[in-house]
Amino acid sequence: MERDAGALRPAVKASDGLDGDSAKDQVEARVVETARFVTLRINRGEANDVSGRWEDYEVPLEPGMVVLDAVLHVQAHSANDLAVRWNCKAAKCGSCSAEVGGMPKLMCKTRLEEFDCSKPILVQPLQTFPRIRDLVTDVSWNYRVNRKITPFRPRTDREWRFYQRDVDRSQEMRKCIECFLCQDVCHVIRYQTQEKPQYFGPRFYVRALGLDAHPMDSANRLRLLQVEGGIGLCNVTKCCTEVCPAGIQITDNAIIPAKERIVDAYQDPLRRLFRKVTGTT
Amino acid sequence: MDKTLTARVSARGLGATERQDRWWVAPAAGALALAVFIVYATWAAFVGTDYEFGPYLSPFYSPYLRPAWFPLSASLIVLWVPLGFRLSCYYYRKVYYRSYFLSPPACDVSEPTRTYTGETAFPLKYLPIMHRWFLYLSILVLLWLWVDALRAFDFGGRFGIGLGTVVMLANVVLLSAFTFGCHALRNAVGGNLRCFSCARGGSLRYGAWRGVTHLTMSHQTWAWLSLYSVGLTDLYIRLCAQGLIHDARLIL
Ligand code: SF4
Ligand code: SF4
Ligand code: FES
Ligand code: FES
């Protein structure tokens, strides 16, 4: 069902129901008259259905409407069996992740007005993770990766006092809401088809650096990131940063600092010499 | 990594996407902007003439070294330093990986099917360490460019300011903003510390880290502005030297 750009679509003809009825009817008729519609083209399918099927749904457009509103409207009015996952509707829980217009987004934070509403807007599940049903994907791979990261190991040799500026870097990483949009968009996870070496993905470089940059932590996760975490496969092309709804500077503040620290620790001969001479670590 | 993970979009070949915006604009613009500079810079470096005018010296030919034994254009003695610096820069890596290697061409646009090793294999594996060396050398070259910019105030022993002086000064300011926003520098001055306050000279290092971070966050902007300011500075001096334009004297 294609429709002209921004076409006004009187669902009730102006003359209908207006002869002698109440003022309320007139108001309602006017509201319906100015309603614009948008087509959501939703990719649906059962578990592990790779390509799925595209189905079109019409939704009345309201000012400030987000994609999740539209999807829930479809669920309420046209497709009661449409599976979609959401909780907070406030960009905080990270469960409504999907791909809208071809890019990973939180559906509850993405306004329809960002798109050209005269054309169908594509809504599909995260492409990097296996589908459970319709828009819901199984992101449990991420939880398995998470368990590989050395947990916080508090120092015992120093008093627990530090300044805000010492935890700023760590706190930026704690803003992560685990939506896994960055994991979805990262081309290393998304497109590499051959038997892969290990790769943690941007979300877990964020977690690891958040711990490694904490003033009271004593573990070292650099070797882990380099060998098992495959951070060398990241080619700093910054898609993860572009999509992060928490605004974390993933590449600049987590991945590149981690790469630099790895060079410090294992590659730079000058620093090795410096450490030997000064006896520092 | 589980194979099931990537079953959905894998092996679709180059350029497959559901993106509905004009995603190819940015990589195409990046490819073009780099190519234009490379073509001009290569030509300007190899011609070996018209690189000075009055007190002005083209940044491609600084430091002013003219050893008699060197058979090629004088610019080639130092030009490999800024070249290597930019080639190994984290930001330029992003640009050419996307625009030339198509790896990926844009976010959520599929890349050519091939064995991907990222930055784990020779030679890309050594870019971060090489970048450090190039940073140290580039700071030396930058110092020289500052000297050149100050010399551009000296019109035969008399203080003066020409349009060329302003151009050279602007160029070296932009180059400094680019160089001092380098990620490797950011790490060296303080980024490598786990706890600023616990380290010796911590406040000083924190201050330096903050300063560098400020520039790092707009590294992309400085990268492009300084790249083109180098080219335009050379062009300005070249046109003056060829008598095609007249250098406006602002104060003399
Ligand atoms: S910057 Fe690295 S981690 Fe982030 S999306 Fe690109 S390749 Fe993946
Ligand atoms: S780093 Fe950002 S994009 Fe990635 S999971 Fe966390 S909040 Fe989501
Ligand atoms: S519903 Fe919680 S992030 Fe969208
Ligand atoms: S990261 Fe760009 S110059 Fe070092």
- The whole-number pLDDT of residue A10 equals 40
Q: Is A88 in the pocket of ligand 3 (CB under 6 A)?
A: yes
Structural domain harbouring B92: 23-251
Q: Do A128 and B90 touch (CB under 8 A)?
A: no
Domain ranges of chain A: 23-137, 140-278
Residue B4 lies in a domain: no
Nearest CA to ligand 2 atom 8: A179
> Confidence class of residue B69 from pLDDT cuts 50, 70 and 90?
confident
Q: Rounded to an integer, what distance in angstroms lies between the CA atom of residue A170 and that of residue A245?
A: 18
Q: Is A65 exposed, middle or buried (0-12, 13-18, 19+ CB in 10 A)?
A: middle
- Token pair recorded at residue B53: 């005018």
Q: Do A260 and B128 touch (CB under 8 A)?
A: yes
Residue B149 lies in a domain: yes
Give, in degrees to the nearest 5, the angle at Cα B229 between B225 and B232.
140
pLDDT in tens, chain A (281 residues): 444 444 444 444 444 444 445 555 555 555 555 568 999 999 999 998 888 999 999 999 999 999 999 999 999 999 999 999 999 999 999 999 999 999 999 999 999 999 999 999 999 999 999 999 999 999 999 999 999 999 999 999 888 889 999 999 999 999 999 999 999 999 999 987 554 558 999 999 999 999 999 999 999 999 999 999 999 999 999 999 999 999 999 999 999 999 999 999 988 888 778 777 877 65
> Confidence class of residue B11 from pLDDT cuts 50, 70 and 90?
low
Give, in degrees to the nearest 5, the angle at Cα B232 between B228 and B235.
145
From A241, A101, A257, select the one nearest A181 (Cα to Cα).
A241
Q: Tell how strand B154-155 and strand B158-159 pair up.
A: antiparallel
Question: Of chain A residues 116-155, which have a CB less than 8 A from chain B?
Answer: 116, 119, 121-122, 124, 127-131, 141
Q: What average pLDDT does range B221-243 have in this prediction?
A: 97
Place of tokens 């950011």: B186
**CATH class given for the domain over A140-278:** mainly alpha
Q: What count of other Cβ atoms lies within 10 Å of the Cβ of residue B11?
A: 12
The interface predicted TM-score of the complex, written ipTM, equals: 0.93
Which neighbouring-strand residues pair with B209? none
Interface test with B, best of A118, A124, A158, A191 (most B CBs within 10 A): A191
Residue B136 lies in a domain: yes
From A50, A62, A9, A71, select the one nearest B6 (Cα to Cα).
A50
The tens digit of pLDDT for each residue in B36-52 reads 999 999 999 999 889 99
Exposure string of B236-249, with b = 16+ CB inside 10 Å and e = fewer, is bbbebbeeeeebee
* Ligand 2 atom showing the smallest separation from residue A250 Cα: 1
Q: Do B217 and A249 touch (CB under 8 A)?
A: yes
Do the domains A23-137 and A140-278 sit in the same CATH topology, yes or no? no
Place of tokens 């003809």: A13
Please give all residues whose beta carbon lies within 6 A of any atom in ligand 2, as ranges: A 176-182, 202-203, 206, 243-246, 248, 250
Name the residue facing B187 among A99, A187, A260 (closest C-beta).
A260
**CATH class given for the domain over A23-137:** alpha beta
- The whole-number pLDDT of residue B72 equals 77
Strand, helix or coil for residue A42: strand
Q: Do B128 and A187 touch (CB under 8 A)?
A: no
pTM over 0.80: yes
Residue B98 lies in a domain: yes
Interface test with B, best of A256, A270, A273 (most B CBs within 10 A): A256
Q: Tell how strand A121-124 and strand A36-44 pair up.
A: parallel
